[in-house]
Amino acid sequence: MNQQQILEELVSLLETNGIQVRDEPLSGQRGGLCTVRGRPIVFLGSDTPVQDNADACAEAVNQAMNIEDLYIKPQVRQYIEAHRNTSD
């Protein structure tokens, strides 16, 4: 599974669980999870490398979701777990 596929799976996971994901120009800056008017939103940079956006999504999953009882493709779960310590 390549980085783009992992990013797509992470975005789908977030959106399926009620977290809006927005692709915005961030001038090369890395996005992440924030709360706007009480709703969780993940901002991804439309001008940011796929790797950075995937990292931001994995960290958002760790911050906002309990994935223990969810089925997630093994490669995606491994990616999320690899980013668990960076989101603390």
**Rounded mean pLDDT for each run of 10 residues along the chain, 88 residues in total:** 97 97 90 95 95 96 93 97 74
Q: Is the pTM of this model over 0.85?
A: yes
Query: In 3-state terms, the chain is what percent helix, strand and coil (to 5)?
Result: 45, 20, 35
Specify which residues 45 forms β-bridges with. Answer: 24
Cα–Cα distance for residue pair 1/56, rounded to 1 Å: 18
Cα–Cα distance for residue pair 18/6, rounded to 1 Å: 19
Check residue 86 and give its pLDDT: 59
Question: CB–CB of 54/10 below 8 Å?
Answer: yes
Question: CB–CB of 76/1 below 8 Å?
Answer: yes
Each domain of the chain, given as residue ranges in start order, spans 3-87
- CATH fold of 3-87: Zincin-like (3.30.2010)
